């Protein structure tokens, strides 16, 4: 069993707590909010026994094993370090931080405290993505040589996502998914080129090409328009396309294995989504903590740091191209 404390009372916390309620052995015992009213309302809505506006008070509780941090991105690193030093495990809403230096500070604190820490990249634990990764890494497509992915919608880009002082960034909020996908199949790029659109200091749209030896990734993201919401990984023997919305996908089409599969009738992989999609990640985190791990091998500290370094480099490239 694990007991959870929730840091933040927004939409993400609402969805996460609903999935925790369906996870055997998980209990949410405490919630922190910026105001007493918000914290109390959240606690009542989810039958949580303790609500507070003091993080220190929550971190001092013996009935909290692990905390989920779902506050604005610029606060993630500081709050995670506070929790780790108080002896709590942490699961941190993506992006884990607003720079690789901040992310490294979190993981250093976790190692020092001997506590589990992970960026909540729930896409990595989605059964569909797990199977796609396994098939590609198993050689179904031959060596992977290209990735194409985009995430663009003209709505819900507001508030913290568009506020520079709160670490607002469409790249880190939406572009993180295409970048993460590229890392799964191709690793950390050797070079990249990027450009984008800024509004009042916040990046609101962009695209990038990541370069590798004999491979590349073409990625795009937007908070002001629709972009194709699919993703594709290709190799010498075929390709796999993940249907919209690729980051929360439930279906993929495999164009590999035979001429008929490639050109005529691709194999369909389908996993109906359960709940809000956090369940597989939460179960994996529970198992990792129960096994005494400080990180999960599917989204390790090194993986998260490499992705964050790429995000930093993409943002630097976008800024230079203005």
Q: What is the mean pLDDT of each run of 10 residues along the chain (322 residues)?
A: 97 97 97 98 98 98 98 97 98 98 98 98 98 98 98 73 72 97 98 96 96 98 97 98 96 97 97 96 98 98 98 98 91
For residues 252 and 84, what is the distance between their CA atoms, to the nearest angstrom? 38
Which pLDDT score is estimated for 167? 67
| pLDDT score of 307 | 98
Question: What is the spatial distance between Cα 259 and Cα 247, in angstroms, rounded to a whole number?
Answer: 28
Query: What pLDDT, on a 0 to 100 scale, did the predictor assign at position 259?
Result: 96
Tokens of 113: 């405290």
Q: How many CB atoms lie within 10 A of CB 310?
A: 25
In Å, what is the CA distance from 112 to each residue of 64, 68, 106, 267? 20, 19, 10, 47
State the pLDDT at residue 159.
53
**Do residues 301 and 115 make contact, with C-beta atoms less than 8 angstroms apart?**
no
| pLDDT at residue 149, rounded to an integer | 98
Backbone region of residue 307 per phi and psi (left: phi > 0; alpha: psi in -120 to 50; beta: other values): alpha
Contacts of 252 (CB under 8 A, 6+ apart): 128, 131, 132, 240, 241, 242, 243, 268, 269, 270
Is residue 76 within 8 Å of 96, Cβ to Cβ? yes
Q: Quote the pLDDT of residue 196.
A: 97
The alpha carbon dihedral of 42, 48, 50, 54 has a sign of negative
- For the whole model, what pTM was predicted? 0.96
CA dihedral 202, 204, 207, 213 (to 10 degrees): 40
Residues 218 and 148: beta-carbon distance below 8 Å = yes
> Is residue 221 exposed (0-12), middle (13-18) or buried (19+ Cβ within 10 Å)?
buried
Q: What is the DSSP pairing of strand 117-120 with strand 144-152?
A: unpaired
Burial class (CB in 10 A: 0-12, 13-18, 19+), 231: buried
Query: Which pLDDT does position 168 carry in this prediction?
Result: 83
pLDDT at residue 164 in the model: 65
């Amino acid at each position: 069993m694990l007991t959870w404390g929730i840091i933040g009372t927004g939409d993400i916390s609402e969805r996460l707590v609903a999935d925790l309620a369906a996870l055997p052995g998980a209990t949410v015992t405490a919630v922190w909010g910026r105001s007493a009213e918000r914290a109390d309302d959240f606690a009542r809505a989810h039958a949580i026994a303790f609500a507070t506006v003091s993080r220190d008070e929550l971190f001092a509780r013996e009935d909290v094993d692990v905390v989920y941090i779902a506050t604005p991105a610029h606060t993630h690193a500081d709050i995670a370090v506070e929790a780790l030093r108080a002896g709590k495990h942490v699961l941190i809403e993506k992006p884990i931080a607003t720079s690789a230096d901040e992310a490294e500070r979190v993981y250093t604190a976790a190692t020092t405290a001997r506590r589990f820490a992970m960026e909540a990249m729930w896409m990595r634990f989605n059964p569909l993505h797990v199977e796609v990764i396994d098939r590609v890494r198993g050689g179904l497509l031959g060596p992977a040589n290209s990735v194409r992915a985009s995430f663009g919608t003209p709505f819900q880009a507001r508030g913290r996502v568009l506020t520079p002082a709160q670490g607002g960034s469409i790249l880190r909020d939406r572009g993180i998914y295409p970048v993460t996908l590229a890392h799964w199949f191709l690793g950390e790029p050797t070079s990249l080129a990027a450009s984008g659109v800024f509004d009042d200091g916040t990046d609101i749209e962009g695209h990038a090409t990541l370069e590798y030896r004999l491979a590349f990734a073409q990625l795009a993201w937007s908070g002001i328009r629709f972009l194709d919401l699919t993703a594709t990984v290709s190799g010498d023997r075929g390709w796999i396309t993940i249907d919209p919305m690729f980051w929360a996908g439930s279906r993929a089409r495999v164009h590999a294995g035979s001429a008929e599969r490639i050109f005529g009738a691709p194999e369909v992989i389908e996993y109906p989504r359960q709940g809000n999609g956090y369940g597989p990640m939460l179960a994996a985190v529970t198992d990792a903590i129960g096994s005494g791990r400080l990180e999960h091998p599917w989204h390790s500290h090194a993986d998260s740091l490499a992705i964050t370094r790429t995000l930093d480099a993409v943002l630097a490239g976008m800024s230079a191209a203005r």
